[in-house]
Amino acid sequence: MVEYQIYPMFIVWFVGAVLIGFAGLNRRGGFWRAFLIGILFTPIAGIFLVVGSGKKDPKGCKHCGNKYNEAEYCGLCGKNESGEIRPA
């Protein structure tokens, strides 16, 4: 009887890994990297790792040339897309 109770856990783990894979579509590494993270780690830890990774195509900063900028204000020059400086 105990051996039949473990199958639903594997199904939930696999479905969680697939959902994490879809969460990683717009992240570096894509679906398969995120799916493997979801399989190897718990799905809860996997979602934190995937969401914490960088975006696939960051918008960058047109003022200073920082091509890895993902935030509203650039981390190097402190300006946003319209050229306004970050408030203090």
1 has a pLDDT exceeding 60: no
74 has a pLDDT exceeding 60: yes
pTM over 0.75: no
The pLDDT assigned to 3 comes to 65
Q: What tens digit of pLDDT does each residue of 13-34 get?
A: 999 999 999 999 988 888 999 9
Q: What is the mean pLDDT of residues 55-60?
A: 78
Q: For residues 30-59, b (16+ Cβ closer than 10 Å) or e, as one string?
A: eeebbbbbbbebebeebbebbeeeeeeeee
75 has a pLDDT exceeding 60: yes
